Structure 1
């Protein structure tokens, strides 16, 4: 009984820590990189933390909660209003799916990190055109193609740009992060409890 309570306390602590780190990193990205955190071409630095799902199942609810917090904060900061709820719901769902895939495939880290790449590349571009129009983007970046009535080209554009951005973040930042953490007590403590 006591060990179950300790595990629960550790698990909840890890969930909260991951959520806080993800939300803070997302907001710092927004402040310093502007629309690169939420725009049509995305390099959300906080997504590197999705690699934590290789080390602990607590990363799944932690990343999801952190994404919800960051996306709600973005509604306030960017003024997206009710349209921002699309990102709160579907963006957070993409993070949940990606982290779950990463945890399930954790024995193959390079393959597992494709979970967040695929989840974000497939889900985020589906609602992004609506959100972008709501905040003042009216053309597909670098193309001059109007977003109005161009959902398929915008989805394909987002599929490529979001996928590339996520892959860069996961493999350039996330993989080294998790390799460094796997040599610490963080990994050892999780291994004892799995």
Structure 2
């Protein structure tokens, strides 16, 4: 099925906003936006997937663009392609889950949390070692040969960081977007209110 021109425009705008927000966060928050403990503020934009399926390719493309740019900023070189591929995959799966579960917004917003918590920590130890992190943060446990421990650490910290972003920023963002004329007709909160009656 071919996309309509307005859907293509939505994909482009969402991708540009996600990439810009990520790069601004990386520049100002440093390793808090990309590192062992992540609060990638741009992930709050996954809430847009509650309103339009165009958010799925838009967020995925935006994540890929931001992660490609981050290869230059962080100095990860070719290893940064892990983040381009698998980080973008996590964003894609999270956004797809959000769209599929849009009738239940609080559940839907868990999609990016789970996808990022399970996928990102699988390759993060490799990237961290390449950029100068040699121990699990706040411990003296070496990353060398400690992949299972680092993965568990990453599941917890990435999951918590993503949950904070999705529910503290993403949920209020989605409530605000639901009041705009552009998204009012596709608001999942409208259905929520009707179901409560």
User: Do both share a fold (TM > 0.5)?
Assistant: yes
Q: Determine whether 1:86 maps to 2:64.
A: no
Structure 1 vs Structure 2 CA RMSD: 1.4
Matches within 5 A, 1:110-121: 110-121=106-117
- Uncovered stretches (5+) of structure 2, i.e. residues with no partner: 188-197
* 1:123-158 Cα distance to aligned partner (Å, 9 max, x none): 000000001101111000001100000000000000
**Partner Cα separation in structure 1 for residue 77 and residue 186 of structure 2:** 40
Residue 193 of structure 2 aligns with which residue? none
Matches within 5 A, 1:131-150: 131-150=127-146
Task: Give 1:189 deviation, angstroms.
Answer: 5.7
**Partner Cα separation in structure 2 for residue 169 and residue 149 of structure 1:** 31
**Partner Cα separation in structure 1 for residue 67 and residue 167 of structure 2:** 23
Residue 38 of structure 2 aligns with which residue? 42
Alignment equivalent of 2:155, drawn from 139, 153, 159 = 159
* 1:98-124 Cα distance to aligned partner (Å, 9 max, x none): 000000000000000000000000000
Q: Determine whether 1:29 maps to 2:4.
A: no
Residue 16 of structure 1 aligns with which residue? 12
Task: Give 1:78 deviation, angstroms.
Answer: 1.1
Residue 62 of structure 1 aligns with which residue? 58
* 1:3-43 Cα distance to aligned partner (Å, 9 max, x none): x99x7111011100100000000001001100111100000
Residue 108 of structure 1 aligns with which residue? 104
Residue 183 of structure 2 aligns with which residue? 187
Task: Give 1:188 deviation, angstroms.
Answer: 3.4
How many residues are aligned here?
187
TM-score, length of structure 1 as denominator length: 0.94
